[in-house]
Amino acid sequence: MKKPPPSPRTATPGRATNHQNPSSKDNSRSNTSFSNSTNHQRKTPSAFSSIKAAFSRLFACTGSPAPDAGQLREIPSISVANSVGSSTGFKYRRDSGGSEKAAGGLAGKAEFSFEEIYKATGNFAPGNIIGEGGFGVVYKGKLKDGSLMAVKRVKKDMYDRHLSKEFRNEILTLSQIEHLNLVRFFGYVEHGDERIILVEYVANGTLREHLDGIHEKELEIAERLDIAIDVAHAVTYLHLYTDPPIIHRDIKASNILITDKLRAKVADFGFARIAVEDPEATHISTQVKGTAGYLDPEYLKTYQLTDRSDVYSFGVLLVELMTGRQPIELKKTIKERVTTQWAMQKLKQGEVVLAMDPRLRRSPASLLVVEKVLKLARQCLAPSRPSRPSMKNCAEVLWRIRKDFGEKCLPGDASPSIYSANVFEGDARKNRHDYFGMEDSDSYRYRSA
């Protein structure tokens, strides 16, 4: 009797490749896994392909009928490493009431549901609103154990296919990144027509609020340099150390959150765009999105997005930091209405002191900083993209400006924080490494400053 032919083996799905940020372990990338086994006999798909496939499964429920009552529907887990190296895993399930629960480790909590999020925000009370992003309102949430988080809720009256795509885009982006100068992603909850993202709560407001004088503590020149370096680190990480690269598309002062130590965290990835995987591709063609005053003129003309589009927006941000003004000042005269044009004109005329934020202390050292930063901003704002520096170059230039300021500033000019450049007393090499993520060769390790 002939033996029946062996049944063909079914290949097991591949696992997303783990990539480590070449910085220190404190700033390592999150490892994202979407399967339990790997077929080592077959080529492992790219990390981006696995992520796309996983999120296609994750969001398939938005257009499908809800499962039967009592049926648990498991969705792939997302592991997000926190800033001290441990990992927080989230698994999303729909319970018998049709509500997604986010299981994970926010402040030791095993699991929370939409109802708990509802209570944590005081039934989404207006008094708990802390901001408004590109497509949703952000609330402060407090769990039973006292843990705080920011709860981003998609506006119901705006929810459509377009916003569904934006929502998926933000989830996809947040799940891939982990950097001390980027807001941490805790999880996602879906309940009926509710779409909610849970992220790190940063208590000290936005950079725009600080520049407008809303907060009691005014930012001195050293602190503004630290913030610029933090943002440059974060965006450099997105451009160079995510796979594939990520273009933020909406870098602006109201998207920069300030910590209690006056450090910066870049937020709001609603407009972020995953760059193409083709290494020979030079740009992405896409619908123009962003904020007036920050948009790359070439992007507006050609609809072609590159990492230099973020560099342009960063140049606008640098001008804001030095002048204190918003990108567009409608109450100013026509000559002063566009802040970047006005500031560049003052730089050209040698009148930097007139462009300097009046809240900043005047001194030869601080004036020199403003001049150097505006010159860097001028490069970032170059009409031709090839003429603009990379974000890594921007970070390196800012670091040198910060270091020089620490050596030349008068007492009282520099920030008293341990991050200030005047820490170079004693072991300068150790301080550069510990506080700014710099090696002795002046090349970045890209841990947070």
Q: Which amino acid is at 105?
A: G
Q: Are residues 167 and 217 in the same domain?
A: no
In a domain, residue 274? The reply is: yes
Catalytic residue among 226, 230, 243, 250: 250
Q: Are residues 382 and 357 in the same domain?
A: yes
**Which residues, other chains included, contact 251 with Cβ-Cβ below 8 Å and sequence gap of 6+?**
231, 235, 266, 294, 310, 313, 314, 317
pLDDT of residue 81: 30
Distance CA 103, CA 393 (A): 40
Domain end marker among 199, 233, 248 = 199
In a domain, residue 1? The reply is: no
In a domain, residue 100? The reply is: yes
In a domain, residue 283? The reply is: yes
Cβ-in-10-Å burial (0-12, 13-18, 19+) of 35 comes to middle
Mean pLDDT, the chain, as a whole number? 69
Q: Are residues 141 and 288 in the same domain?
A: no
Q: Are residues 265 and 414 in the same domain?
A: yes
Q: Are residues 192 and 272 in the same domain?
A: no
Q: Are residues 267 and 315 in the same domain?
A: yes
**Residue 433 reports pLDDT greater than 50:** no
Domain end marker among 199, 231, 260 = 199
Distance CA 439, CA 429 (A): 8
**Which two structure tokens, joined as six digits, stand for 211?**
């520049």
Q: Are residues 193 and 229 in the same domain?
A: no
Q: Which residue has the higher pLDDT, 296 or 257?
A: 257
Cβ(185)–Cβ(179) below 8 Å: no
Q: Are residues 191 and 246 in the same domain?
A: no
Q: Are residues 144 and 211 in the same domain?
A: no
Domain end marker among 153, 168, 199 = 199
Residues 300, 303, 304, 310: is their CA dihedral positive or negative?
A: positive
HSE, side-chain direction, 13 A CA sphere, residue 59: 18
**Residue 42 reports pLDDT greater than 60:** no
For residue 426, the enclosing domain spans: 207-436
In a domain, residue 377? The reply is: yes
pLDDT of residue 242: 84
The 3-class secondary structure across 112-156, one letter per residue, is ECHHHHHHHCCCCCHHHEEEECCCEEEEEEECCCCCEEEEEEECH
Q: Which amino acid is at 173?
A: T
pLDDT of residue 141: 93
Q: Span 384-395, mean pLDDT? A: 93
Q: Model confidence at 16, in pLDDT bands (50, 70, 90)?
A: very low
**Residue 431 reports pLDDT greater than 80:** no
Q: Are residues 315 and 177 in the same domain?
A: no
CATH number of the domain where residue 172 is located: 3.30.200.20
pLDDT in tens, 231-266: 999 999 998 988 778 888 888 998 999 999 999 999
In a domain, residue 15? The reply is: no
3-class DSSP state for residue 64?
coil
Catalytic residue flag (residue 250):
yes
pLDDT in tens, 319-373: 999 999 999 888 888 888 989 999 999 999 999 999 999 999 999 999 999 999 9
∠ CA 291-134-142, nearest 5°, is: 135
pLDDT in tens, 108-167: 333 568 888 989 999 999 999 988 765 678 999 998 888 899 998 876 665 555 556 666
Q: Are residues 142 and 113 in the same domain?
A: yes
pLDDT in tens, 200-240: 999 899 999 999 989 888 899 999 999 999 999 999 999 89
Cβ-in-10-Å burial (0-12, 13-18, 19+) of 182 comes to buried
**Residue 57 reports pLDDT greater than 90:** no
In a domain, residue 246? The reply is: yes
Number of domains in the chain: 2
In a domain, residue 301? The reply is: yes
Q: Which amino acid is at 26?
A: D
pLDDT of residue 439: 42
Cβ(37)–Cβ(14) below 8 Å: no
Q: Are residues 425 and 300 in the same domain?
A: yes
Q: Which residue has the higher pLDDT, 130 or 25?
A: 130
The binding site for ATP consists of 156
CATH number of the domain where residue 377 is located: 1.10.510.10
